[in-house]
């Protein structure tokens, strides 16, 4: 889902994409029982270190955006700027937190005995039946292959649909002193826009953009490319 975007992003600088632990090319022979936010954050930091790629402009969408926020908080030396495409930091807004907890409950109920449906259920419940039905068969199959990892994250710690999702207070968010582009989509769930509204007031250096479409925002949207170009120079925080 990032291949086309990566081609465009690479025209604006070195571009590194990877599948997070448990998903696609990073899936183990036997699925993980649990996956924690700390695993994903440590992995991201390790990738940047191994490729001598930091500080980087880090782009994250949905759960990836949550990981990007925590990466910038725990490893500020690895991050030059953030592009947050509706990051799944639902605990920042009470209505979004309640929505996410309801989504978690529905997914666990509907996948009891049918774990292979987890990814489909999340998309149908969160983004609507029409979104799922709009996907071509190959994309549906790709999502289905991530279901065990989706459940591992739900049963893990700190992630958006975990029982103990990450909570950051005002001081912790204010400490993320990096430029951040926060992107919302016109047709996304209200919970996502609520998160972005709170986050834009909590992070110290933000620019917000509203784009057409739904939650699966293009990582190479023109607004993202312009932000990258503006922040691609020497790191002022180094």
Contact 181, 223 (CB under 8 A): yes
Instruction: Give the separation between CA 121 and CA 174, rounded to whole angstroms.
Output: 35
- Integer angstrom CA distances of residue 145 from 33, 121, 141, 196, 213: 15, 13, 6, 29, 25
Contacts of residue 61, Cβ cutoff 8 Å, sequence gap at least 6? 85, 86, 87, 216, 217, 219
Neighbours of 200 (CB within 10 A): 15
What pLDDT score does 234 carry? 65
**pLDDT 10s digit of each residue in the chain, 238 long?**
688 899 999 999 999 999 999 888 888 888 899 999 999 999 999 999 999 998 999 999 999 999 999 999 999 999 999 999 999 999 999 999 999 999 999 999 999 989 999 999 999 999 999 999 999 999 999 999 999 999 999 999 999 999 999 999 999 999 999 999 999 999 999 999 999 999 999 999 999 999 999 999 999 999 999 999 999 876 554 4
- Domain 3-231's class? alpha beta
Domain chopping of the chain, boundaries: 3-231
What pLDDT score does 233 carry? 73
Element containing residue 79 per DSSP (H, E)? strand 79-85
Q: What angle do CA 209, 140, 63 make, to 5 degrees?
A: 40
């Amino acid at each position: 889902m990032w291949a086309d975007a990566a081609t465009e992003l690479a025209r604006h600088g070195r571009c590194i994409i990877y599948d997070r632990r448990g998903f696609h090319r990073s899936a183990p022979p036997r699925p993980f029982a649990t996956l924690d936010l700390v695993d994903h954050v440590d992995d991201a930091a390790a990738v940047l270190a191994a490729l001598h790629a930091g500080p980087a402009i880090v782009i994250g969408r949905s759960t990836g955006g949550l990981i990007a926020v925590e990466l910038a908080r725990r490893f500020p030396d690895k991050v030059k700027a953030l592009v947050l495409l509706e990051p799944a930091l639902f605990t920042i807004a009470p209505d979004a937190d309640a929505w996410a907890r309801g989504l978690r409950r529905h997914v666990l109920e509907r996948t009891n005995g049918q774990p292979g449906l987890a990814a489909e259920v999340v998309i149908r419940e969160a983004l609507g039946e029409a979104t799922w039905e709009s996907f071509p068969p190959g994309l549906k199959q790709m999502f289905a292959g991530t279901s065990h990892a989706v459940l591992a994250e739900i049963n893990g710690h700190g992630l958006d649909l975990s029982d103990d999702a990450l909570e950051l207070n005002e001081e912790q968010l204010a400490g993320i002193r990096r430029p951040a582009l926060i992107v919302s989509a016109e047709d996304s769930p209200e919970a996502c826009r609520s998160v972005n509204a709170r986050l834009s007031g909590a992070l110290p250096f933000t620019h917000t953009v509203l784009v057409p479409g739904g939650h699966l925002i293009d990582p190479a949207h023109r607004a993202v490319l312009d932000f990258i170009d503006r922040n691609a120079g020497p790191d002022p925080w180094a």
